[in-house]
Structure 1
Amino acid sequence: MPWSSFAWAAALALPAALAQDGDADQPKSPEIAPRMQPDSHNTTHWPTSPLPWGELNFIHTTDTHGWLEGHLNEVNYGADWGDFVSFVQHMRDKADRLKVDLLVVDTGDIVTGNGLSDLTTPQGYESNRLFRNLEYDLLTIGNNDLYNSKVTGQIREDIVTYYDTNYLSSNVKVKINGKDEPIGKPYKHITTKHGLRITAFGFTLQDFKVPKNVTVQGADDIVKEDWFKNATSQPVDLYLLIGHADIGQGCKINGKYKADHNPLICMKDWFRKNKPEVPLQVLGGHSHTRNFSCYDSASSGLESGRYADTVGWLALRDVAPSKTWKGSKTLTNVPTPTKTCKPHQSTSSYSAQKTVHLDRRYLDFNRQTFAYHAIGAKGPDVPAKFDTPFGRHVTKEIQATRRHLNLTAELGCAPQSYYIASSPYKCPNNIYTLVKSALKTTVNNKNASSARLILFNTYGIRYDLYQGPFTVGDAETVSPYPDVFRYLANIPYEKVKTLECDLNKLKKSSCDDEKWKEKCNSHSLGLSTNPYAGDPQQNVLTNDARDLDNDKRNPGHVTKDDFGDCSDRKSADCGDDTRHIARVENYKHPYYLQVKVNIDEGMTKTVDVVFPDAMETDVLDILKRKKEEVKDYKDKSFTTREFLKEYAKSAWNKNSTCKIGQ
């Protein structure tokens, strides 16, 4: 594929390039590698359990959303894309030494949610170039990659064309020059290095606000296509379904956007019914969780987190036919998968004709984790030999791009961390408490003393805000949508007292002014009192019989899937590669919030109603006002991306030192 020649050419050119950029005179340790982004922070926790290896192994990413620089103030996920490039190359080399196969797969949503992807026009103009430095064997497209035709066009130019036949999109078409065209290839036949025959497909969910220029086909239509009939008529050892869709759903759904089925899972069901003799593997995405689902003894699904916080690992044994397999017959000196899948409920009449042994692992996205599994490093520091020349090159590209986009500019020092769902609504550590303060301080016009009611969509906040240096990049991560503030002037206050509640009712949400049940604890942060008692589905990212010292663990993902429950201290079947302290992530909040400024409940007669432009239609409908009455409240350059930046400049610039939190 095109990556190889590019990668090696870049790597060979590195000595001269590095000398030219001024690093040649800097002292370098002969043994220890520095962290890759200068403003990131390394975790102090190392995995202690090696990965299982099978005949066929997968490295899986999904929903990266432009987070290629890593999580700079979160030690669990401090690696950048260059570190990941180094990791993947080491793992490919290891697979070759073991004489087994390794496929690297991504299942979509590579934009929206980080300044690297979002601060260019179109989104992805810079980040796509960085993303494609990784040698992916298969990829597919996500819903966020499809909302804007220019963004989709950029992905088509930068990613689809680059990866060519490796980019699969079996059920998505986009309108090009007036004609519906597949965004990628509908399927791919693969014969691996060691002779395993795989037919792969890529499916995207239907349950999103599909743009007019996009068509997402359903499963019933796909199975009628001539190309599909041809693809499924070939001899094969494994069917591989990669997709941007929830692996834990059933085929039939009652979707938020009126979709009635999940194409990825419906296609899985079709294959298990019509091809039960062939093992099948699903790699999914979209729901932003770590998850593994057993379907039957020869089929399962894996999903691998979000925002470059997780690398999914999956090892399969007993999938390769003994007559055609050219790889290792028996693996030594590495663990091999011993688990088998049993469906947790009977959902169909078919029965598998083969049993696959398998296991999964969810890796934290940090250098220690990568170095441990790639080269056997055990600390306390990451050896310099972990970093490949090309990985270092990618890291420097990311750093240069961040500077170019001004993402590294510090706006202030966040004095504490603020959470979307790990602290009760209206508590000091809840992020919407901060949002209200910031809106009140920054959303004003020339008449700052005027009475105003500011409305805000809480789902415009995409991520927690962590204690420590607060940069332009952090602001773009927390509040990435560029909505302009609009307003209706001099509206009778009596008419708008229930406006926020009426808006929330449209979303079947509780009102902002209603009394919320949860009380603020002493820390206002939902850490589980029992570190092994968590939400039955998914908590944030605690170590294993891999490290049971509570005091040394960071809050983080505590995953429950069909193979094990990481909240169970005694479980040997936990999928989290590094265990963490469970943190509650299910505190609710209203869909819309409101901020009252200069309003005296007994005296105020009229107010200005201020809102992001995305809310305009609903506000006008409820108040029965005309579009012509709406005006810009501030200059259009001041958007929902800007209010936290302005607040940080004024409120968080008093600290001479700035420390990060947990």
Structure 2
Amino acid sequence: MFPLLLAGLVGIAGAVQPDARPALPAPLRDLPWAQLNILHTTDVHGWFGGHLQEPSFSADWGDYISFAQHLHKKADDEGVDLLLIDTGDRVEGNGLYDSSEPKGRYTFDILKEQHIDLICSGNHELYKQNSSENEYSVTVPDFKGNYLASNLDIVDPKTGKLVPLAPRYKKFTTKNQGIRILAFGFMFDFTGNANNTVIQPVEQTVKEEWFQKAIRDKDVDLILVFGHVVIRSKEYDAVFKSIRGEQWDTPVVFLGGHSHIRDYKVYDKKSVALESGRYMETIGFLSVSGLSSGHNEGKDIVPASLAGPKFARRYMDNNLFSMYHHSNTNSSTFPTGKGSNVSNAIASARAELHLNKIRGCVPQDLFVNRAPYPSNNSIFSWLEKSVLPTQLATSPRASVQGKKALVITNTGSVRFDVFHGPFTRDTEYLVSPFTSGFHYVADVPLKVASRVLELLNSEGSIMTDVAKEYGLEPWMLPEPEQMNSRRQKPNADSTENEYSNFESYAPTYFGDSIQAPLHPHKSTKDDEPTPFPGYTTTDDLGRDGDDTIHTPIKFYNVPNCIQATIGFDLDLNLDLNLNPKSSPTLVETKDENGDDVVVDVVYNEFIQPWVLLALQYLGHKVNETDTKIYLEGKTMTDVISEWVEGNWGNGGRECP
């Protein structure tokens, strides 16, 4: 952490990281300002420096601070209110957080420079004991009075007692309009947390006496439920039903996160929900008018009890072109002292962490979801055909003992695309920030091992009923963006494995698009900007939610897991519909003596519970004590980086 670094940078001008690509002009929709306005971030995952290679998302946390300061002034000038809210998963996913020792050494102080009115934890803050203790000892005090934890407890590291991570709820009155707000901060029913934290299921929390007493408060103009919860979920349905059982007429706003998408849901005429994407690509904007308040007298605002509230939303692309427009500023008037200081502090931290150090030069784009799997542009095809077989073959089991192996990893272990050009130290954390190593189960009959992938990629009982008995959820395996896709119905004209638009009640994860990172075109025709590829969101209000008007980019589904081989070939017949399956073909499962051919089943440590469960389901008895480390001291991050240096290395020189 670096408060002295921030202090030392006072007065230095600047905005956006120096290596970031400048934002491009594009057609914009204005922000729908109203009586109460909310800026919403979620699933930032350490991307405080913005996206250096993607113009549409190139603004950094310092720019967001400057932007918020301008919008606060606008709110004060107009006598309306502005709240900033963050709904968790601020850690893991970027070199700025993951490459420091200890992790988060710089990001905690970067985060707290932004005034955030309401903030909560995500699941990534809870996977490890040290990260949840950082929340308790650092982030909660940094946002004292604004951090809420309605269903989350932690073992106090000093006393050993189980205590709430933060207050359960909060009632406050807004600055300019005097709107009385009752706020709750929830965590979804997460079961993968370290054993020093306890998450009470939401359905149980809403039955608690304190919650029932709180929602009976009639001196409230708005109930605001925020949390690391998908807005189309059983958790928020339970909260909504409980509130409506006591407050049938009070406006309710939900803010969610976790699924990394842009989405807006209408619960009823007086209740809506907003979710605002991922990785600092999106700044969500939600406004409410027609609220009753103590300051309505003499103002042109109709009380909600008479006319009902009106809601509006916008999903902002996080770049300076959008920020200048929405704050009515320009390159000279936009940067504030505080914002510029934070931008410079981010640049200094990146330099100290050597995040621009070049590992190699990538010859082509490799995509997580923007290319079909399998294909030449799929990052998963690259992993299973090139990276995993080469790097894991260095294990003594393969290189010395000559053991064959099947290597399985979940697609969720890869978090972002690899773009043509420099592969830096930062890139390795963007692609795979997790610390799981590789384990293995020795000498599994091939006829059994070859069916594990099929089970992990299926929607059969092992991935639903059986897995849930062990606290395992299918959403944990693939990318978060896909977690709800199997519940949705594609259009008739969509291809088998293509993400597609859905009926109006459902968000378009599949039709949603991400900014093309490298070659967005811009038109100079009549000096008017024209759309280029990017987010094109459809939600419960239609297709006009994005602030930037884009042409769409297709997303594609990927399986839960992929598989590579070491020491032999296994021809996989992959059915890449929503139920990916695989089966071994042209492979003998018996040797020349008639004995079973055996292989090591290798996997990244995170998915060990699923792999062991699958093996047991297939009749191969195994438990955790039967597993061993396959590649000592190597994580997926290490494996990818070492392959890049060995195959695309350029001696650390600039890429051509």
Q: What TM-score range do you get, normalising by the shorter chain?
A: 0.7 to 0.9
> SS of the residue aligned with 1:151?
helix
Query: Residue 441 of structure 2 contacts residue 627 of structure 2 at CA under 8 Å; is this kept in 1?
Result: yes
2:364 alignment partner in structure 1: 416
2:343 alignment partner in structure 1: 395
Question: What is the aligned counterpart of 1:112 among 83, 89, 92?
Answer: 92
Once the two structures are superposed, the pairs formed by residues 135-534 of structure 1 within 5 Å of their partners are 135-176=115-156, 177-194=159-176, 195-212=178-195, 213-226=197-210, 228-230=212-214, 232-233=216-217, 235-249=219-233, 261-262=234-235, 264-321=236-293, 324-325=295-296, 329=300, 354-377=307-330, 383-436=331-384, 437-445=386-394, 448=399, 450=402, 451-488=404-441, 496-505=449-458, 506-507=462-463
Question: What is the aligned counterpart of 1:88 among 68, 75, 90?
Answer: 68
Worse overlay, 458-467 or 76-85: 458-467
**Cα deviation code 1:591-611 (max 9, x no counterpart):** 232234455957896655433
Cα distance, 1:625 vs structure 2: 5.1
Query: Residue 196 of structure 1 contacts residue 325 of structure 1 at CA under 8 Å; is this kept in 2?
Result: no
Cα distance, 1:290 vs structure 2: 0.8
> SS of the residue aligned with 1:501?
helix
1:581 alignment partner in structure 2: 551
**Cα deviation code 1:23-58 (max 9, x no counterpart):** xxxxx9xxxx6x621221122134533222111111
**Cα deviation code 1:227-263 (max 9, x no counterpart):** 65156425122111112112223xxxxxxxxxxx41x
Give, in whole Å, the separation in 2 of the partners of 1:491 and 1:265: 44
Question: What is the aligned counterpart of 1:634 among 621, 627, 631?
Answer: 631
Runs of 5+ in structure 2 lacking a partner? 465-473, 475-496, 502-506, 517-521, 571-586
> SS of the residue aligned with 1:50?
coil
**Cα deviation code 1:259-317 (max 9, x no counterpart):** xx41x332222223321232221111122111111122222111111111100111211
Q: 1:501 to 1:51 in 2, by over 3 A?
A: closer
Q: 1:440 to 1:222 in 2, by over 3 A?
A: same
Cα distance, 1:60 vs structure 2: 0.7
Q: Could you say what the CA RMSD is over the residues aligned between the two structures, in angstroms?
A: 3.6
- For 1:53, the aligned partner's letter is W
Q: 1:290 to 1:443 in 2, by over 3 A?
A: same
Cα distance, 1:373 vs structure 2: 0.8
Query: Residue 277 of structure 1 contacts residue 354 of structure 1 at CA under 8 Å; is this kept in 2?
Result: no
Give, in whole Å, the separation in 2 of the partners of 1:279 and 1:234: 12
Give, in whole Å, the separation in 1 of the partners of 2:654 and 2:45: 31
> SS of the residue aligned with 1:110?
coil
Cα distance, 1:220 vs structure 2: 4.6
Give, in whole Å, the separation in 2 of the partners of 1:504 and 1:278: 44
Give, in whole Å, the separation in 2 of the partners of 1:452 and 1:633: 10
Give, in whole Å, the separation in 2 of the partners of 1:388 and 1:209: 41
Give, in whole Å, the separation in 1 of the partners of 2:19 and 2:103: 24
Q: Does 1:55 align with 2:35?
A: yes
> SS of the residue aligned with 2:71?
helix
Question: What is the aligned counterpart of 2:112 among 129, 132, 145?
Answer: 132
2:605 alignment partner in structure 1: 613
Query: Residue 423 of structure 1 contacts residue 587 of structure 1 at CA under 8 Å; is this kept in 2?
Result: no
2:575 alignment partner in structure 1: none
Aligned-residue identity in percent = 31
Cα distance, 1:122 vs structure 2: 5.7
- For 2:537, the aligned partner's letter is T
Give, in whole Å, the separation in 1 of the partners of 2:228 and 2:313: 19
Cα distance, 1:86 vs structure 2: 0.8
Query: Residue 503 of structure 1 contacts residue 592 of structure 1 at CA under 8 Å; is this kept in 2?
Result: no
Once the two structures are superposed, the pairs formed by residues 558-573 of structure 1 within 5 Å of their partners are 558-565=536-543
> SS of the residue aligned with 1:426?
coil
Query: Residue 434 of structure 2 contacts residue 637 of structure 2 at CA under 8 Å; is this kept in 1?
Result: yes
Query: Residue 28 of structure 2 contacts residue 549 of structure 2 at CA under 8 Å; is this kept in 1?
Result: no
Query: Residue 55 of structure 1 contacts residue 328 of structure 1 at CA under 8 Å; is this kept in 2?
Result: no
> SS of the residue aligned with 1:385?
coil
**Cα deviation code 1:144-174 (max 9, x no counterpart):** 2222222111011221111111111122222
Runs of 5+ in structure 1 lacking a partner? 1-5, 19-27, 250-260, 331-336, 341-351, 378-382, 510-524, 566-573
1:515 alignment partner in structure 2: none
Give, in whole Å, the separation in 2 of the partners of 1:576 and 1:475: 30
Worse overlay, 421-430 or 439-448: 439-448
- For 2:110, the aligned partner's letter is L
> SS of the residue aligned with 2:340?
helix
Worse overlay, 450-459 or 297-306: 450-459
- For 1:632, the aligned partner's letter is I
Give, in whole Å, the separation in 2 of the partners of 1:219 and 1:493: 44
Cα distance, 1:215 vs structure 2: 2.9
Cα distance, 1:182 vs structure 2: 1.2
Q: 1:248 to 1:615 in 2, by over 3 A?
A: closer
**Cα deviation code 1:339-398 (max 9, x no counterpart):** x9xxxxxxxxxxx87511221110001111111111244xxxxx1321111111111221
Give, in whole Å, the separation in 2 of the partners of 1:493 and 1:226: 55
Query: Residue 453 of structure 1 contacts residue 595 of structure 1 at CA under 8 Å; is this kept in 2?
Result: yes
Cα distance, 1:504 vs structure 2: 4.0
Cα distance, 1:124 vs structure 2: 3.3
Worse overlay, 386-395 or 613-622: 613-622
Cα distance, 1:535 vs structure 2: 5.0
Worse overlay, 41-50 or 239-248: 41-50
Structure 1-normalised TM-score?
A: 0.77
Query: Residue 499 of structure 2 contacts residue 555 of structure 2 at CA under 8 Å; is this kept in 1?
Result: no
Query: Residue 276 of structure 1 contacts residue 353 of structure 1 at CA under 8 Å; is this kept in 2?
Result: no
Q: 1:116 to 1:324 in 2, by over 3 A?
A: same
Q: 1:272 to 1:490 in 2, by over 3 A?
A: closer
Give, in whole Å, the separation in 2 of the partners of 1:537 and 1:65: 22
Cα distance, 1:642 vs structure 2: 0.9
Give, in whole Å, the separation in 2 of the partners of 1:491 and 1:105: 50
Question: What is the aligned counterpart of 1:648 among 627, 644, 648?
Answer: 644
Query: Residue 511 of structure 2 contacts residue 552 of structure 2 at CA under 8 Å; is this kept in 1?
Result: no
Give, in whole Å, the separation in 2 of the partners of 1:130 and 1:583: 33
Worse overlay, 423-432 or 494-503: 494-503
Count residues with an aligned counterpart.
571
Cα distance, 1:401 vs structure 2: 1.9
